[in-house]
Amino acid sequence: MRIKLDENLPRSLEAELSSLGHDIDTVPSEGLAGRPDPDIWVAAQRERRFLITQDLDFSDLRRFAPGTHEGILLIRLALPGRVALLRRISALFRSEPVESWRQCFVVATDGKIRVRRPGTRAGPIVTP
């Protein structure tokens, strides 16, 4: 999977996801750190990358409707320190069918995953 990591995620996540076979790019490595969210979004879509972020600006399903982009994973932890973020995202990518998240809007919390797929009108799929 081609992934772009937002600047609000630990740098160690790049090596972790790369070791699982993913093609990783980061906002800082691209020189986009501190840039407005629309610039990050344009770069991710131009490169056809799945965006992983903690930024609530990417949480609006009307603006980021499933099927209109490469995919978003919005990670929302109660205590989002570097270690907690690394552990949770790593666990997701080791245990969940992340390849099926392409073009989806995914929200992961400490204990749940909500996946909104393109063309679905029903409520989200929730995985404990």
Nearest-5° angle of CA 39, CA 42, CA 92? 100
Whether 125 shows a pLDDT value over 60: the answer reads: no
> What does the domain layout of the chain look like in residue ranges?
2-127
Summarize the chain as % helix, strand, coil (round to 5): 30, 20, 50
**pLDDT tens-digit profile of 51-81?**
999 999 999 998 999 999 999 999 999 999 9
Whether 104 shows a pLDDT value over 80: the answer reads: yes
Widest distance between CA atoms in the chain: 39
Give the per-residue pLDDT at 119.
85
Centroid of chain to Cα 61: 14
DSSP state string for 39-59: HHHHHHHHTT-EEEE--GGG-
The model's pTM: 0.92
**pLDDT tens-digit profile of 77-90?**
999 999 999 999 99
